[in-house]
Structure 1
Amino acid sequence: MDGTLGVVIIVVGGIIALAIAAFADWRSKQRIEAAMTQAPDRGPAMADAPVPEYVPEPAPDDRPRRHPLTEDEQATLAEDLAGDHTHTVSAVLADDRLATTSEPQRAILRGPLVMVCPEGIGSLREVLDTLERASQQKSGIVLVAPSFDPEVLDVMSINVERGIIEAIPLHADAEVCQQVAGLTGATGVPRADLQSGYLPHSVYGRALVVVAGLDETVLVAPPAQATPGLVGAPGGPTPVHPRT
């Protein structure tokens, strides 16, 4: 009987110890969470300064959504597309994360440079210089290719979201790539040139307006237009890598 009582006392004591430890862990977690949402102690010198409000990072579902165009924006876009130099091509937005409007999802750019890569884009390194110089020059950039390395789309999405660049990736087959090049004054860039970094100013075309949808793309590109190309400029933000 005494042995059984001893076992019971030991078991009860163990349960009580576990309960105390669990309560201590819960209190510790509560203190850590409270500390993370409070302003730090700024000392007597800043005691009278306003206390900042710390807001946790919003969940993905809480981030701002793309919005439909307003009536004024729709009217302006319709006017832009009403001229004689509007063309519809069978190119589509390569990643809906780059859409700037909803209902329908489209990406709209005015006055972007256009680079056509009929053999596809196989790595970020192949277009990183173009993205950086477009950012420095504060010019939108449209990349047209039959295939994109996923990292290229990730970098474009991140930097567009942060307002560092304005960019549209257009998925198009070789024939449509040639069509877009002819309309915008661009010169198709082979993979060998992309990999070597040989990108003279003459490879870039220009469009007045590009509206890239999930089913087709509409662009305005007057004939015989001058193509200024990309000129490196000091300063300006540098596109960030998704792992930074």
Structure 2
Amino acid sequence: MDPWTVGIVVVIAVGVVVIVLGALSDRRKNRRAAREMLSPPDRPIPRFAPETPAPHYLSELQARRRPGGARTTELSAADRDELARRLRDPDTVSLPAGMVSPDFITDRTAGWAVLDRPYVLVCAEPITTVRELITPLEKVLPTGRPVVVVAPGLAGDVRSTLEVNAIQQTMSVLAVEAAGDVLTRIAGLVDTTPIPRADLQSSWVGLDRLGGCDRWVSTATTSYLLDRPDVA
């Protein structure tokens, strides 16, 4: 075989090897990147003891799926009919402020979000970062009670975070947008005052700053404050 032919064969062989190695390297990099996205961060997690199990990280697709074995939040047919009757009652307190997303629905048959004995966090200004909600939500979580977050607006990532918590049932939460006189009226009805952003950012918010009611029901356009049937 001529030397130049041997040279061409060698060059082709080396080129094929380089291409194969490059493809394998890219595959390893892609797998490593995927593992890093879905695994806990390689750093201490604030306020978590070293022996605490690391949190499980979900992809966006996984986070938007209700977990297997999730507890049902659907009302019975009798409870739904009774609640519908009460919502039609002209004496029922109704407010022109609905839930910001269908992900907060608890009774899909009727399309309602129904929360019993919730804390109500009324924010004076739009919520721009999740950090503003961390302190009040951390205070509510150990109580096992639901929480309604009422604000003039919610940034996209804030809304998504609350939606995922509702879907995954990590806490019972509902987000409602209200402003102006409606916001002021809600604060009065739940016996609280709107909390300014500066207080939320400085973590000066305890449970005593939150309002409450016996039962909160929201549709896409309206929210209602009611007494539960089992309360005298």
TM score, norm. by length of structure 2? 0.62
Offset, 1:98: 1.9
Offset, 1:104: 4.3
The residue aligned with 1:17 is none
Higher mean C-alpha displacement, 84-93 vs 143-152: 84-93
Q: Which amino acid aligns with 2:146?
A: G
Aligned to 1:170, the other structure's residue is in SS state: strand
Q: Which amino acid aligns with 2:153?
A: S
Residue by residue over 1:212-232, the C-alpha shift from the partner in whole angstroms, topping out at 9 and shown as x without a partner, is 11111122169xxxxxxxxxx
Offset, 1:138: 0.8
Higher mean C-alpha displacement, 208-217 vs 103-112: 103-112
Alignment of 1:81-160 (within 5 A): 86-160=92-166
Aligned to 1:187, the other structure's residue is in SS state: coil
Separation (CA, whole Å) in 1 of partners of 2:185 and 2:103: 25
> Which among 75, 79, 87 is matched to residue 76 of structure 1?
79
The residue aligned with 1:169 is 175
Aligned identity (percent) is 25
Aligned to 2:174, the other structure's residue is in SS state: strand
The residue aligned with 2:212 is 206
The residue aligned with 1:229 is none
Change (3 A) 1:203 1:64: closer
Separation (CA, whole Å) in 2 of partners of 1:206 and 1:186: 8
Offset, 1:161: 2.0
Native 8 Å contact 2:135 2:205 kept in 1: no
- Name the count of aligned residue pairs: 194
Separation (CA, whole Å) in 1 of partners of 2:178 and 2:114: 17
Separation (CA, whole Å) in 1 of partners of 2:116 and 2:81: 13
Native 8 Å contact 1:113 1:139 kept in 2: yes
Separation (CA, whole Å) in 2 of partners of 1:92 and 1:155: 18
Offset, 1:147: 0.3
Q: Which amino acid aligns with 1:124?
A: V
Native 8 Å contact 2:153 2:177 kept in 1: yes
Native 8 Å contact 2:103 2:166 kept in 1: no
Change (3 A) 1:106 1:82: closer
Alignment of 1:10-89 (within 5 A): 63=65, 73-79=76-82, 86-89=92-95
Point out where structure 1 has 5 or more consecutive residues left out of the alignment: 1-24, 26-56, 223-244
Residue by residue over 1:70-117, the C-alpha shift from the partner in whole angstroms, topping out at 9 and shown as x without a partner, is 7x6242245457679731101111122222233443221111100111
Over alpha carbons, which structure has the higher Rg? 1
Native 8 Å contact 2:141 2:171 kept in 1: yes
Separation (CA, whole Å) in 2 of partners of 1:211 and 1:195: 28
CA RMSD of aligned residues (A): 4.2
After the TM superposition, list the runs of 4 or more consecutive aligned residues in structure 1 that deviate by more than 3 angstroms: 59-65, 77-86
Separation (CA, whole Å) in 2 of partners of 1:164 and 1:63: 13
Separation (CA, whole Å) in 1 of partners of 2:189 and 2:139: 23
Aligned to 1:147, the other structure's residue is in SS state: coil
Q: Which amino acid aligns with 2:157?
A: E
Q: Which amino acid aligns with 1:159?
A: N
Point out where structure 2 has 5 or more consecutive residues left out of the alignment: 1-23, 25-57, 68-72
Separation (CA, whole Å) in 2 of partners of 1:63 and 1:108: 20
